Structure 1
Amino acid sequence: MKPAFDLSEYQRRLDLVRKSMSEQDLDALVIGDPANMNWLTGFDAWSFYVPQVMLVLHDHAPVWLGRQMDAGAVYLTTYLSEESVRPYSEDLVQRDDVHPMEAIGDEIRKFDLSGKRVGFESDTYFFSFKAVERLQSTLSEVHWQDADRLVNWCRLIKSDAEVEVMRVAAQIASNVQQVAREHIAPGVRQCDLVAKILEAGTSGINGSGGDLPALCPLVMAGEAAATAHPMWTDIPFEKNQTVALELGGAHKRYNAGLARTFQLGSGPQKVYDTANAVTEGLESVLETIRPGVTAGDVHTAWQKVLNRYGLVKESRIGYGIGVGYSPDWGEHTISLRANDLTVLEKNMTLHVMLGMWMDGWGIEFSETVAVTDSGVDCLTDFPRSVIDVL
């Protein structure tokens, strides 16, 4: 095994984070988000179900602090040396009387941060309230500062190397939708279709292997089509059913999303009319995306189409996407919504997600795109219309 990128790429990322830390007057930063750890150093392991953090300093390489049995993954997936690997003992795992963050805090103390400003991520899935509380009480001599999403915003503009990895993830996602197209039919159980989807996603494409996407396959069929994020079941698809599939591909932990809508037999005209409105809105959005426009400008292009058709969609229509671990592939930064003033720049990657969830049926179309010098590069590639399965 080796890290996903060259050492120079990780140094570029570390420089970005340190610059942002300096702008916030931080002497150190404690990262709890596994996606941010991966982006910053390459660290890749299914170890985030127990306490672990990455410590970023201005005068020392990033330091991983986590469970002893997972320390080997640091050497396999990063360029970090032995002095940057600080594991806690196995007897601290999942006990009521002690917490691993106390040992992590004692280890961080060795970096002489007393009286210093230390940032931490306050709103991430795998950095629990108890973990933060125990860490901060152990290191009560430092001045803790909320630095949530500092690293996330550093991730927003990708390097050219990252965009190419995203391109592979998008090719996998496109192939996954093609596999779904080949196997979906009335009578096929949802779980059996998902088995094909997962096989195609992990097999990858053109010699490049796939990872587990950070978002599981979402199957919107029957009554479940009235909501946006249902789990698959063992219920068979039905004749004349409208089915929306939000699927993804992942490569080197970079994710790409792709949603499409299938009609299993004949469908009501309202399905096709709504799909025409959504795809027209998608085309308008893609024509609007370019450096210099805001996320709100992109949403306005979509809203103009909706207004013409008399449709309403209250949720955002896209977000930044890239490195991600379950349960979410979004970067938690830019959102394509009316009040987001973030200015688009070259090499931002977005999941443009347009959906209408009705009573008993739903429509979804999405693309994963990269902002270019003058417009947009649609990384995913699949027919942009309702797919009729006859």
Structure 2
Amino acid sequence: MLFSQEEYDARLAGVRSRMAKQGLSALLVTDPSNIYYLTGYNAWSFYTPQLVFVPADGPMLLFARAMDAGGAFRTTWLPEDCIVGYPEQYVHRPHIHPFDWVAFALRERFLIAPAAKGCVGLEMDSHFFSPKAYRSLVNAIPEWTLVDSFELINWVRVIKSPTEIQLMRGAAQVCMAAMAAAVETIDVGVRQCDAAAAISQAQITGANGIGGDYPSIVPMLPTGEAADTPHLTWNDERFETGQSVVIELSGAHKRYHTPLARTLTLGPTPSNVAKLAEAVSDGINAVLTEVKPGVPVRELARTWNWTLAKYGLEKPSRIGYSIGIGYPPDWGERTISIRSEDESVLAENMTFHLIGGMWMDNYGYELSESIRVTSDGVETFTSFPRELLQKGS
């Protein structure tokens, strides 16, 4: 197993403690990151319905497509009798859903009535929990009161164990190799798709003996005037002199992610980009000096906003979020966001992607760091130069 049984037991205990506080007698887990966190199950099977049934007491049950369930024991610590496969005939059918079968399987195991004593939590904001899946459960198990669990497991995941931190450090090694490949490959005349290919190869090859995993998000390469928009990927056009390229990517190792963003200019750096880079650099450095246990998250946002204001700038979007385990389409944990209205307080071994992204009219700049809150300050997972990068004269 990737983690000790004691760590998995502690995770389940943490989840059940939070379940009790929220009045939940059972929890249905459909987010692949949370399934991985609790059970270790890891496969590209989340495009078909799957869930883990977590009762208040007793063993968890993993339900997956039969062809996936048959080999699930190769990654999960669950005993084989707790891994249940639903029949192939339920896959992608218009009038039936796999959760129809799962509901009956729970009923056969006499697990419906005990869970009806309280509310049953659902991951209502999970990317892989569809309206049809919800309707199936409502119709098949009328005894249950189904409620949103409000990212229950995601909040348990916020503070990382020492083993998780080491995996994120491994992901950081992969990340730096991928960013180095990006900077080496991107140049005037090179196709954007070829740069993306070089980045992807480095992400999977890994670095320093650490193998890479597939990242939750593909490399993002907003280029030229399109750098005023985040989350753009690539095309087959060639890079041109005078363009700025925003590079945002992540290293992934054993499903743990450490993202990183840098901006590269091809040729002389435009004055507006240089001014933006100075402001962002000052803002990020100011925030990093504030990070330590006990500091309210809103104070980090306040420091960032105050620094930008000195340059006559403002950023309405958040400047970071909690990170850790990730599956497509996102590497964020959907819990803490670094913004002025967040009421969270920093604690040791919380991990974040701190993002200084500024998207203006027809130009932009981004610089980010993946960080860990230490006992008395901050650890940056990568050591890539924290500056505006430039190629050509």
**Smaller-chain TM-score range?**
over 0.9
Query: SS of 2:13's equivalent?
Result: helix
Cα deviation, residue 254, structure 1:
0.5
Corresponding residue for residue 27 of structure 2: 29
Supply the distance in 1 between the matched residues of 2:173 and 2:92 (Cα, whole angstroms): 40
Alignment partner of 2:234 out of 213, 232, 235: 232
Cα deviation, residue 136, structure 1:
2.0
Structure 1, unaligned stretches of length 5 or more? Answer: none
Cα deviation, residue 310, structure 1:
0.4
Tell me the amino acid that sits aligned with residue 113 of structure 1. Answer: I
Corresponding residue for residue 274 of structure 2: 272
**1:113 counterpart = 2:112:** yes
Supply the distance in 1 between the matched residues of 2:95 and 2:376 (Cα, whole angstroms): 58
**1:388 counterpart = 2:387:** no
Show the 5 A alignment for 1:139-158.
139-158=141-160
Cα deviation, residue 354, structure 1:
0.8
TM-aligned CA distance change 1:73 to 1:353, over 3 Å = farther
The range that moved more, 11-20 or 219-228, is 219-228
The range that moved more, 105-114 or 40-49, is 105-114
Query: SS of 1:260's equivalent?
Result: strand
Alignment partner of 1:180 out of 179, 182, 207: 182
Q: Deviations over 1:244-272 (max 9, x none)?
A: 10011000001110000101011221211
Query: SS of 1:218's equivalent?
Result: coil
Cα deviation, residue 108, structure 1:
1.9
Supply the distance in 2 between the matched residues of 1:144 and 1:128 (Cα, whole angstroms): 15
Question: Is contact 1:281-1:301 (8 Å) kept?
Answer: yes
Q: Deviations over 1:189-225 (max 9, x none)?
A: 1110010000000011111111111111100102321
Supply the distance in 2 between the matched residues of 1:279 and 1:177 (Cα, whole angstroms): 18
Alignment partner of 1:71 out of 69, 75, 93: 69
Question: Is contact 1:240-1:267 (8 Å) kept?
Answer: yes
Q: TM-score, normalised by structure 2?
A: 0.97
Query: SS of 2:27's equivalent?
Result: strand
Cα deviation, residue 315, structure 1:
0.2
Question: Is contact 1:101-1:134 (8 Å) kept?
Answer: yes
Cα deviation, residue 113, structure 1:
2.6
Cα deviation, residue 361, structure 1:
1.9
**Segments of 4+ moved more than 3 angstroms:** none
Corresponding residue for residue 78 of structure 2: 80
Supply the distance in 2 between the matched residues of 1:182 and 1:6 (Cα, whole angstroms): 40
Supply the distance in 1 between the matched residues of 2:70 and 2:292 (Cα, whole angstroms): 43
Cα deviation, residue 61, structure 1:
2.3
Query: SS of 2:325's equivalent?
Result: coil
Query: SS of 2:327's equivalent?
Result: coil
Show the 5 A alignment for 1:297-316.
297-316=299-318
Question: Is contact 1:370-1:378 (8 Å) kept?
Answer: yes
Query: SS of 1:192's equivalent?
Result: helix
**1:369 counterpart = 2:374:** no
Cα deviation, residue 128, structure 1:
0.3
Cα deviation, residue 182, structure 1:
1.1
Tell me the amino acid that sits aligned with residue 290 of structure 1. Answer: K
Supply the distance in 2 between the matched residues of 1:351 and 1:303 (Cα, whole angstroms): 17
Corresponding residue for residue 356 of structure 1: 358
Cα deviation, residue 148, structure 1:
2.6
Supply the distance in 1 between the matched residues of 2:71 and 2:308 (Cα, whole angstroms): 49
TM-aligned CA distance change 1:111 to 1:320, over 3 Å = farther
Query: SS of 2:86's equivalent?
Result: coil
Show the 5 A alignment for 1:1-390.
3-109=1-107, 110-114=109-113, 115-116=116-117, 117-390=119-392
Query: SS of 1:103's equivalent?
Result: helix
Query: SS of 2:62's equivalent?
Result: strand
Question: Is contact 2:218-2:249 (8 Å) kept?
Answer: yes
The range that moved more, 72-81 or 152-161, is 72-81
Identical pairs, percent: 45
Query: SS of 1:118's equivalent?
Result: strand
Query: SS of 2:184's equivalent?
Result: helix
Q: Deviations over 1:278-332 (max 9, x none)?
A: 0110000111111001110110110111010001111000000010111100000
Supply the distance in 2 between the matched residues of 1:167 and 1:29 (Cα, whole angstroms): 31
Query: SS of 2:356's equivalent?
Result: strand
Aligned residues: 388
Supply the distance in 1 between the matched residues of 2:2 and 2:192 (Cα, whole angstroms): 34
Question: Is contact 1:225-1:359 (8 Å) kept?
Answer: no
Supply the distance in 2 between the matched residues of 1:325 and 1:177 (Cα, whole angstroms): 20
Q: Deviations over 1:34-75 (max 9, x none)?
A: 111011111101111111111112322221011000013420
Tell me the amino acid that sits aligned with residue 159 of structure 1. Answer: S
Supply the distance in 2 between the matched residues of 1:73 and 1:366 (Cα, whole angstroms): 39
Question: Is contact 2:358-2:365 (8 Å) kept?
Answer: yes
